[in-house]
Amino acid sequence: MVQSVLFDINNGKMLSLIDASKWASDYLKRKVTVSNISYLIQYGRIKKYGSNGNPLISLDELKNYYDANNTEKLWRERLDKDINWHLSFIEYRESERTKHVHRLHPYKGKFIPQLVEYFLDSHVDEYKRKIFFDTGDIVLDPFCGSGTTLVQANELGMHAIGIDISAFNAMISNVKVGKHSIYEIKKYTDEITRRLKNYQKTKNNVVFEEHLLSELAKINTKYFPSPDYKRKVRKKEIDEKKYVKEKEREFLKTYFELVDKYKIKIKQDSEDTFLDKWVLYPVRQEIDFVFNEIKKIDDKNIKKILAVILSRTVRSCRATTHADLATLKEPVTTTYYCKKHGKICKPIFNIRGWWERYTADTLHRLQIFDTLRTDTEQLCLMGDSRTIDIYTEVKKKNPKFAELLSKQKIKGIFSSPPYVGLIDYHEQHAYAYEIFGFDRKDELEIGPLYKGQGQEARESYTKGIAEALINCKKYLQKDYDIFLVANDKYKLYPKIARLSNMKIVNQFKRPVLNRVEKDRSNIYTETIFHLKEN
């Protein structure tokens, strides 16, 4: 065992990975793991000294890295003075911001659970002057998305109702808060995995991919050694653009030789639909195979969970670069230089690895949530928040919950409405709509990307959000509290409040530090608007 001490090499202080994580945690006042330090080494941010069995890093280099990338310091210099820095939640690790079922499926535009906890949880009032929600209350999220508010309401002992125009979003949300038999899910997933393996034995794509990976390992070890190559690129010792073009061309010959050897069909016969265009032919065959197996299952609850696992698998198996998973650019059908990983990478040719990974991850997350969940009711309704009859729809799905709703009504709203012209909420899951045959309601989205951010789009957005709030107010208690999370760069929410016959009684501005997107330099803030009846 390596002793936890501070090493001194060449008159510089050297740390073991364990000591580096401890030092960084203390220096940054948040948890920094050994994995976080290893990531910095792997991606060439800091240099590794010593042997592989006893890696060391320079304290000065580590400090310089964190000082140069001190997000909070940079933001404090560039943003207004009225930012609530506590609401950045920078002290939470990524695993805590995506805890248990919150990461059952990717979703653009969702807020982190800690933000919901801050405003709903009556036990964190050291940062607040007033408690707005309490155990047993009913909370409404009229723009439910992937169900963050519903999940946290359950964990905090509150009932919750969500509404979303997207059938797929409603399914994700209800799967997250549903009660499931882990044993039954595993039984079905194990059987489908077994059948998928047998199916793959009749095809060449798996053995082709294994051979391809073997050849990729050779070229990457020779020309893109990690982390030395990445460090040389960062120091501009290598002309990355010129260097990688040469190596890409060099390897393509090997790639096409393997394609020919194993007789692999790459592209599908048409590009008419999303899946036709964005997954390779062998992957499409396996997607269809697994979905047909899922359709054979009688239990609707199990079907939905497996559909979520399959959808997550399909998203990771699209024919795109690793850097473009969030925003697709052009389909990738050959090996390519991956800027994210600093080496030659390949598109996906079989789904089994991702299917098995996400199956295990889903079961694990459901098990964790089972230990935290409370005996409360949560339900996401598929519908338009501007017109939906909440009581009638809840009664159709859960008569017991409808009875509780009629007695005590909804205490308030916590929601993140769609932003103006930022996301096409149906299109981000186009693959799922195509596989499962859900009806798309793109025309009923409020503020979708395809309508832009012009004056007409802003007016339509303002009207749409106000109509949703007016409709939802009918189901709220008299002394309600509404919290809306928005990046209101067009200053629309004062008008939205007036149109809804409400007033903004408080605003909480928070920096958004923990972003999933690769471009973290695009600094922005969110405002949590607190609204009450005028």
pLDDT at 247: 95
> What secondary structure, in 3-state letters, does 50-74 show?
ECCCCEEEEHHHHHHHHHHCCHHHH
CB count, 10 Å around CB of 459? 12
pLDDT at 88: 83
Q: H/E element holding 219? A: helix 205-223
Give yes or no for a contact between 277 and 331, defined as CB atoms under 8 angstroms apart: yes
For Cα atoms 528, 529, 530, give the angle at the middle one, nearest 5 degrees: 115
pLDDT at 10: 45
pLDDT at 522: 57
CA atoms within 13 A on the CB side of 530: 13
Give yes or no for a contact between 372 and 155, defined as CB atoms under 8 angstroms apart: yes
pLDDT at 517: 39
Taking Cα atoms as reference points, which of 186, 193, 263, 254 lies closest to residue 220?
254
Taking Cα atoms as reference points, which of 529, 142, 141 lies closest to residue 150?
141
Angle, helices 17-28/59-68, rounded to nearest 10 degrees: 40
Dihedral (CA of 111, 114, 119, 122) sign = positive
- Whether this prediction's pTM lies above 0.75 is answered by yes
Give yes or no for a contact between 509 and 489, defined as CB atoms under 8 angstroms apart: no
DSSP structure class, residue 421: T
Q: In b/e form, how buried is each residue of 53-64, taking b as 16+ CB within 10 angstroms?
A: eebbbbbebbee
Domain borders along the chain are: 7-69, 78-178+374-533, 182-364
Q: H/E element holding 412? A: strand 410-415
Under 8 Å CB-to-CB from 288, ≥6 apart: which residues?
none
Interatomic CA distance for residues 468 and 462, integer angstroms: 10
pLDDT at 124: 55
pLDDT at 32: 86
Instruction: Look up residue 136 and give its amino acid.
Output: G
pLDDT at 1: 35
- 78-178+374-533: CATH number: 3.40.50.150
Calculated CA dihedral for residues 207, 436, 268, 325, nearest 10 degrees: -70
Interatomic CA distance for residues 2 and 119, integer angstroms: 44
Give yes or no for a contact between 233 and 239, defined as CB atoms under 8 angstroms apart: no
pLDDT at 74: 67
Interatomic CA distance for residues 188 and 402, integer angstroms: 33
Taking Cα atoms as reference points, which of 425, 417, 389, 390 lies closest to residue 497?
417
Token pair 């949530």 is at which residue? 369
Taking Cα atoms as reference points, which of 172, 173, 151, 180 lies closest to residue 374?
151
pLDDT at 86: 82
Taking Cα atoms as reference points, which of 228, 250, 253, 252 lies closest to residue 238?
228
Residues facing 486 on adjacent strands: 527
Instruction: Look up residue 50 and give its amino acid.
Output: G
Residue 475 phi, psi dihedral angles, 5° rounding:
-105, 5
Token pair 């020309």 is at which residue? 223
Q: Tell me: cis bond preceding 227? Omega within 30 of 0 counts.
A: yes
Interatomic CA distance for residues 23 and 380, integer angstroms: 44
In order along its 534 residues, the chain shows pLDDT tens digits of 334 444 454 446 889 999 999 998 888 888 888 888 888 887 778 888 877 678 888 999 998 888 877 766 666 676 767 888 888 887 788 888 899 999 999 998 888 999 999 999 866 555 555 789 999 999 999 999 999 999 999 999 999 999 999 999 999 999 999 999 999 999 999 999 999 999 999 999 999 999 999 999 999 999 999 888 988 888 889 999 999 999 999 999 999 999 999 999 999 999 999 999 999 999 999 999 999 999 999 999 999 999 999 999 999 999 999 888 777 889 999 999 998 889 999 999 999 999 999 999 999 999 999 999 999 999 999 999 999 999 999 999 999 999 999 999 999 999 999 999 988 899 999 999 999 999 999 999 999 999 999 999 999 999 999 999 999 999 999 999 999 999 999 999 999 999 999 999 999 999 887 554 344 455 678 999 999 999
Taking phi first (over 0 means left), then psi (-120 to 50 degrees means alpha), and beta for anything else, what does residue 247 get? alpha
Residue 376 phi, psi dihedral angles, 5° rounding:
-130, 170
Instruction: Report long-range pairs for 12-17 (Cβ below 8 Å, ≥24 apart).
Output: 12/58, 12/59, 12/60, 13/58, 13/59, 13/60, 14/49, 14/50, 14/56, 14/57, 14/58, 14/59, 15/56, 15/57, 15/58, 15/59, 15/62, 16/54, 16/55, 16/56, 17/55, 17/57
Interatomic CA distance for residues 435 and 521, integer angstroms: 36
pLDDT at 53: 72
